[in-house]
Structure 1
Amino acid sequence: MFARDLAECEKTERRVVSPDGNWESTRLLLKEDNMGFSFHITTIYEGKDFDMHYQNHLESVYCISGEGEVESRETGQKHHIKPGVVYVLDKHDAHTLRAFKELKLACVFNPPITGKEVHNSEGAYEILE
């Protein structure tokens, strides 16, 4: 058993800020923790709008605070994001995420990420060992 403090992790290499300035994420659980998934607290900055397509990972996302929407790039279907809503990318969905107000999200990835990943040109994380 172990415990981690978000505020403490934010002071370490577990806090990652996107090169494009859209988001930051503190990775509380990573592949090295051997849980079979990774768990992150991610902030999407207000007014940001960007495409992602996790071709190698499944992701579920729970909204802690803020407001936005996620849109399927394949179907155009939109889901409103607000506190208490979870959205699930269960089919490696290509999607656009929009933050109308700064979003604070709890994200789970399967398989777990290592913490060194960056989004590629298609908005995906590569599998890193």
Structure 2
Amino acid sequence: MLIRRLEGAEGNERDVIAENGQWRSQRLLLKDDQMGFSFHITTIYAGKDNFFHYKNHLESVYCISGEGEIEELDNGTVHQIRPGTVYALDKHDRHRLRAFSEMTMACVFNPPVSGREVHGPDGAYPADVD
């Protein structure tokens, strides 16, 4: 059994802060945990507009706190995000996530990430090379 606490993912290799200052990801479960997915608590900072395109991963996100919107870039549809909202990027959807206030999100990735990934210029994490 694995037991982890959020404070255990502060200020160490599990605490990833975007170089552009847009977000912070505290990665509680990673590939090495052999669960078949990774689990992160991600903070999207207020006023930030993020472009993501997980070409190599599926992601599901649950909004714990804060408000914003997600835009599907292939069709322009915009969805409001607030506490209690879940969205799943089941088709490797290109999207923009805009935070109106600081947002705390629980995120699950499949396949799991190894831990230090950051988004490339295309908005994606790299494919698993193992």
Q: TM-score range by the shorter chain?
A: over 0.9
Identity %: 61
Aligned-CA RMSD value: 0.8
| Structure 1 runs, 4 residues or longer, greater than 2 Å off | none
Matched, 1:96 2:91: no
Specify the code of the residue in structure 2 equivalent to 1:19: E
Q: Unaligned 5+ residue runs, structure 1?
A: none
- TM-score, normalised with respect to structure 2: 0.97
Q: Deviations over 1:53-111 (max 9, x none)?
A: 00000000000000000000001111110000001100000000000000000000000
Return the alpha-carbon distance in structure 1 between the equivalents of residues 75 and 9 of structure 2: 37
Mapping 1:103-114, distance limit 5 Å: 103-114=103-114
- Paired positions, count: 129
Q: Which amino acid aligns with 1:75?
A: N
Deviation at 1:16, TM superposition (A): 0.4
Partner secondary structure for residue 24 of structure 1? strand
The Cα shift of 1:50 comes to 1.6
The answer for the alignment partner of 1:72 in structure 2 is 72
CA distance in 2, matches of 1:14, 1:99: 23
Query: Secondary structure at the residue paired with 1:101?
Result: coil
Match of 1:127 in 2: 127
More strand by share: 1
**Which residues in structure 2 correspond to 1:52-67 (within 5 Å)?**
52-67=52-67
Contact kept in structure 1, 2:13 and 2:116, CA below 8 Å: no
Q: Give the TM-score taking structure 1 as reference length.
A: 0.97
State the match for 1:44 in structure 2: 44
